[in-house]
C-alpha cells in the first residue's frame, strides 16, 4: 500500500481479496503496510489490485514462501518487546544456561550476563533431550523460576516450547517462545505458534535448507503471527571438530530473501566452549541480528550442555570484543 494509505483503503483491498475467495494477511512495516494474499492455487492477475485506491503496487511473489519474503515486505522487520529490539540495525544478545536448574543458578547467571550487557535471559524449562534418561527440565517449576528472574533482574525471558500442551503453558510466562531445531518442521506446532501473541524464536533444523527454514516461518506467519525471529544453530555435516557446522553463509542468504531478523546460536553449533567466541565474532561480522549464547557459572556441574557453556568471564570478554567490532564496523560505514 502507499505510505499514506487510509485504513478505509486498506480494508477495501482486504475485502476485494476476500471477495475472490482468498485470504488477506496484513504485514505492517515501518513505512507502509503490505497485504499478503494467501490461499491462491495459481498466479493472480496484479491488475485486479493495481487500480484500487491506496495501492502502490501488486507484486507476484516468485518464491514458495510469501509472507516471510522480502518481495512482500522490503524493509527489515524489527521485533520490539519493551525496550528491547531485535532486527534492523540492532545486535541483540540473549544469554543464559541451557536448562533452568534452580532459582539460585538462574539468578547467579542472569545477574552476571546482565552486567556484561545481555538483554534477554535464556533457559529451558522443558528440554528436548536425545536420551529419555537425561534431565528433562524442571517444567512448570522452571517457568516460575524464569518469571522470578525477570522480576528481579528485568531481563526478558526466552524459553522453549516442545509441544502443543507445553506451548500453552510457556506462552503465559515467556517473552519469546523458542521452537527448537528438532521441532522446526513440526507443522502443527508451528501453526499453534502462529496463533500466539508472543514472538517466536524459530531455530533451523539440523539438516534443513534455507528454503525449509523460511517455509517453517511461513507456517507461523500464515496463522497471523508476524513476530518471528530466525536462528542459525549449525547443521550436521561430516565435520567432527565441532558438534555441528555453523553455516555463516545462511545469514546473508536469509537477509537477502527475507525481512525477518536472524540471530546465531554459536553454542549448539560448536558443542564446545572454545569455539563459541570466535564463531560469535564471525556471526557479528556477517550481519547477524544477534546471538543466543549458553553461559553457566559452574559448567562442570551443569545438568545439560556444560561443555559448550561459556564461563561468565568469557561471556563478558565476548561482549567486550563485540563492542570493539561494532566500533570498527561503524568506522567502515563512515
Ligand atoms: C537449546 O536451545 O537448548 C536447544 C535444545 O537448541 P537446538 O534446538 O538448537 O538444539
Ligand atoms: Mn542447550
**Inside any domain, residue 141:** yes
Q: Are residues 325 and 213 in the same domain?
A: yes
What pLDDT, on a 0 to 100 scale, did the predictor assign at position 329? Answer: 80
Q: What is the CB-side half-sphere exposure of residue 156 using CA atoms within 13 A?
A: 19
Q: Is 204 in the pocket of ligand 1 (CB under 6 A)?
A: no
37 and 152 part of one domain: no
Residue 150 CB–ligand 1 contact under 6 Å: no
Position 327 scores a pLDDT of 87
268 lines ligand 1 (CB under 6 A): yes
**Could you tell me if the CB of 297 is within 6 A of ligand 1?**
no
Q: Do 301 and 98 contact (CB within 8 A), yes or no?
A: no
Q: Are residues 155 and 295 part of one domain?
A: yes
- Can you give the pLDDT at residue 118? 98
- The Å distance, Cα 181 to ligand 1 centre, comes to 6
Residue 213 lies in a domain: yes
pTM tops 0.85: yes
| Assigned domain for 98 exists | yes
Q: How far is CA 160 from the centre of its chain?
A: 12
- Indicate if ligand 1 lies below 6 Å from the C-beta of 124: yes
pLDDT at 334: 57
Atom of ligand 1 nearest to the CA of 124: 3
In a domain, 40, yes or no: yes
- Could you tell me the distance, in angstroms and rounded to a whole number, from the CA of residue 270 to the centre of ligand 2? 11
Q: Would 70 be classed as within a structural domain?
A: no
Q: Which atom of ligand 1 is nearest to the CA of 122?
A: 2
3-state SS of 286-312? CCCCEEEEEECCCHHHCCCCHHHCECH
Ligand 1 within 6 A of CB of 216 = no
Ligand 1 centroid–CA 238 distance in Å is 20
Distance 305 CA to ligand 2 centre (A): 5
pLDDT tens-digit series, residues 271-282 = 999 999 999 999
Work out the percent of the chain whose per-residue pLDDT is above 90.
93
Dihedral pair phi/psi, residue 289, rounded to 5°: -90, 0
Q: For residue 61, what pLDDT is reported?
A: 87
- Mean pLDDT of all residues in 52-75: 93
Q: Cα 322 to chain center, whole Å?
A: 20
Ligand 1, atom 4, lies closest to the CA of: 180
> Are 31 and 175 in a shared domain?
no
Whether 148 and 270 map to the same domain: the answer is yes
Q: Are residues 30 and 167 in the same domain?
A: no
State whether 172 and 262 are in the same domain: yes
Which among 101, 142, 160 is the best mutation to test ligand 1's pocket, defined by most ligand atoms within 8 Å of the CB? 160
CA–CA separation, 92 vs 171, rounded Å?
A: 21
Whether 298 has a pLDDT exceeding 90, the answer reads: yes
Residue nearest (by alpha carbon) to ligand 1 atom 3:
98
Average pLDDT, the chain: 96
- Within a domain: 61: no
- For residue 86 and ligand 1, the question of a CB distance below 6 A is answered with no
pLDDT of residue 268: 98
Q: Is the pLDDT of residue 18 over 80?
A: yes
Does residue 233 line the site of ligand 1, with CB under 6 A?
yes
Can you spell out the DSSP letters for 131-182? STTS----THHHHHHHHHHHHHH--EEEEE--SHHHHHHHHHH-SEEEE-GG
Q: Structurally, how many domains does the chain consist of?
A: 2
- Cite the DSSP H helix spans in the chain: 7-19, 47-50, 103-116, 140-153, 164-173, 187-194, 210-222, 250-257, 266-270, 276-285, 312-333
My answer on whether 43 and 85 are in the same domain is no
Q: In angstroms, what CA-CA distances link 17 with 46, 204, 216?
A: 12, 33, 24
Structural domain including 231 reads: 79-333
pLDDT tens for 312-332 read 999 999 999 999 998 888 776
Same domain, 27 and 88: no
Give domain status of residue 71, yes or no.
Answer: no
Task: Give me the pLDDT at residue 125, please.
Answer: 98
Closest approach atom of ligand 1 to CA 292: 2
Q: Are residues 119 and 240 in the same domain?
A: yes
Same domain, residue pair 202 and 293 = yes
Q: How far is CA 198 from the centre of its chain?
A: 11
In CATH, what number is assigned to the domain containing residue 246? 3.20.20.70
43 and 83 part of one domain? no
Q: Do the domain assignments include residue 230? A: yes
- With a 6 Å cutoff on the Cβ, whether 231 touches ligand 1 is no
Amino acid at each position: 500500500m502507499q505510505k499514506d494509505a487510509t485504513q478505509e483503503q486498506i480494508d477495501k483491498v482486504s475485502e476485494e481479496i476476500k471477495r475472490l475467495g482468498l485470504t488477506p494477511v496484513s504485514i505492517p512495516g515501518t513505512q507502509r503496510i503490505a497485504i499478503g494474499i494467501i490461499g491462491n492455487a495459481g498466479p493472480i492477475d496484479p491488475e485486479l489490485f493495481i487500480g484500487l485506491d491506496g495501492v502502490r503496487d501488486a507484486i507476484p511473489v516468485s518464491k514458495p514462501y510469501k509472507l516471510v519474503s522480502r518481495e512482500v515486505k522490503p524493509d527489515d522487520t524489527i521485533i520490539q518487546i519493551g525496550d528491547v529490539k531485535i532486527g534492523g540495525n540492532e545486535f541483540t544478545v540473549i544469554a543464559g544456561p541451557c536448562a533452568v536448574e534452580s532459582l539460585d543458578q538462574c539468578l547467579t547467571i542472569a545477574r552476571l550476563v546482565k552486567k556484561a550487557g545481555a538483554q534477554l535471559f535464556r533457559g529451558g524449562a522443558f528440554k528436548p533431550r536425545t536420551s529419555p534418561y537425561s534431565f528433562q527440565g524442571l517444567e512448570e517449576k522452571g517457568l516460575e523460576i524464569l518469571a522470578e528472574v525477570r522480576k528481579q533482574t528485568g531481563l526478558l525471558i526466552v524459553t522453549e516450547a516442545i509441544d502443543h500442551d507445553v506451548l500453552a503453558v510457556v506462552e503465559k510466562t515467556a517473552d519469546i517462545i523458542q521452537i527448537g531445531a528438532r521441532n522446526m518442521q513440526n507443522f502443527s506446532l508451528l501453526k499453534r505458534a502462529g496463533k500466539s501473541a508472543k514472538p517466536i524464536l524459530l531455530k533451523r533444523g539440523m539438516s534443513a535448507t534455507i528454503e525449509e527454514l523460511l517455509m517453517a516461518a511461513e507456517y507461523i506467519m500464515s496463522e497471523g503471527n508476524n513476530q518471528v525471529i530466525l536462528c542459525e544453530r549449525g547443521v550436521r555435516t561430516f565435520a567432527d571438530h565441532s558438534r555441528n557446522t555453523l553455516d555463516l553463509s545462511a545469514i546473508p542468504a536469509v537477509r537477502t530473501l527475507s525481512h525477518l531478523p536472524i540471530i546465531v546460536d554459536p553454542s549448539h553449533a560448536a558443542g564446545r566452549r572454545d569455539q563459541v567466541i570466535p564463531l560469535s565474532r564471525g556471526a557479528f561480522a556477517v550481519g547477524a541480528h544477534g546471538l543466543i549464547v549458553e553461559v553457566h557459572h559452574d559448567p562442570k556441574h551443569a545438568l545439560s550442555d556444560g561443555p559448550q557453556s561459556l564461563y561468565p568471564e568469557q561471556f563478558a570478554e565476548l561482549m567486550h570484543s563485540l563492542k570493539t567490532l561494532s566500533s570498527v564496523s561503524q568506522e567502515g560505514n563512515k
